[in-house]
Amino acid sequence: MDATSLAFKVYLILGFELVVLYGCAFFVIQQCKKAFYANKTFLGIAFAEAVNQNRQTDICVVQNEATSLLFFWLVLFAIISLWTASTFIILSSSFIQFIFMTLTAVGYGSLIGFIIIDMDENDGITGLKGASLTTVAMLILVSVSGINFANSLFVSIIASLILVLIVWELSALVRVISRGAQKIKAVAGIIIFSLSLLVSISMVGVSSDKGLNDWNTAIDLAFSIFIDILYTVNKTSRICYISKSKICH
Q: Is 228 exposed, middle or buried (0-12, 13-18, 19+ CB in 10 A)?
A: buried
Each residue's pLDDT tens digit, 87-117: 776 666 677 888 888 999 999 999 888 888 8
Please state, in angstroms and rounded to a whole number, the distance separating the CA atoms of residues 189 and 161: 9
Q: Amino acid letter at 81?
A: S
18-58: pLDDT as tens digits: 999 999 999 999 998 898 888 888 888 888 877 666 666 67
Reduced to 3 states (helix: H, G, I; strand: E, B; else coil), residue 45 is strand
Residue 157 has pLDDT above 90, yes or no: yes
Tell me what pLDDT residue 54 has. 62
- Residue 1 is predicted with a pLDDT of 44
Q: Cβ distance 59 to 247 under 8 Å?
A: no
Supply the pLDDT for residue 214.
87
Tell me which H or E stretch contains 52: strand 47-52
Say how far apart CA 203 and CA 197 lie, in whole Å. 10
The chain-wide mean pLDDT, for the chain, equals: 84
3-state helix vs strand vs coil in the chain, percent to 5: 75, 5, 15
Residue 53 backbone dihedrals phi, psi, to 5 degrees: -65, -15
Q: What is the pLDDT of residues 172-212, one digit of tens each?
A: 777 777 777 788 888 888 899 999 999 999 999 999 989 88
Phi, psi (degrees; rounded to nearest 5) at 50: -135, 165
Q: Which has more pLDDT, 160 or 66?
A: 160
Q: How far is the C-alpha of 245 from the C-alpha of 37, rounded, in Å?
A: 22
